[in-house]
A = this chain, B = another copy of it.
C-alpha cells in the first residue's frame, strides 16, 4: 500500500525514511467500489488520486450525452481533472471506478505544502508531469497519423492487460472509434 507510493516516487527521486514519512502524512487512503464516482462533472475537485489498486476512467460527456474516455488509470497512475484541481474550480470531467479501487488522495492544499516543504517532491511531480505531457503528445500524434485499427493494435501491444480489464466499448471510446467498428478489427 504505502510501499507502492514510495516505490513510485523513488523511481524518479530517492527519499529517506523521514522524507517519505513527511510525504505520506499529506495523503489519505480511500476505497471505492466499482461504479462509484471519485469526481463528478460540475462538482468541486478536491483531490488528485494516486491509484494503489483497481482501475479508473476519466470521462468527458459531450452535449449529446455521449461519453468519451480521456484516459484510464491503473495501478501506479495518477488521475484527476487536473484543470479543475489546480484551478480549484468545478469538474468538466468525471472519474469513475471500473473496478473496486484503492487510492491515495492528495488535496491541493497538501500538494502545496509538500512542494514547499520538500523540494524533492516538487521535482518528482515535475518529472511526472513532463512524462505525462510527452505521452499526451504521442497520443495526439497517433490520432493524427494512424487509422483506428492501427491505434487499436498499438494499444494491444502497449497495454495488453488493459484490454482484458476494460469493456471494448470503452476502449473504442478511448481510441476515438465506434464500438461496432472496433469489434470488426479482429478481421
Contacts and interface: CB of A to CB of B under 8 A. Distances in A.
Given A115-B123, A119-B119, A122-B122, A68 B136 contact: no
Given A143-B143, A143-B176, A176-B144, A70 B137 contact: yes
A35 interface: no
Contact of A129 (B129, B141, B144): B129
A34 to B, nearest CB: 24
A176 to B, nearest CB: 5
Interface residues of A, number: 29
A143 B83 CA distance: 18
A68 B141 contact: yes
Interface of A: 60, 62, 66, 68, 70, 82-83, 86, 115, 119, 122-123, 125-126, 129-130, 132-134, 136-137, 139-141, 143-145, 173, 176
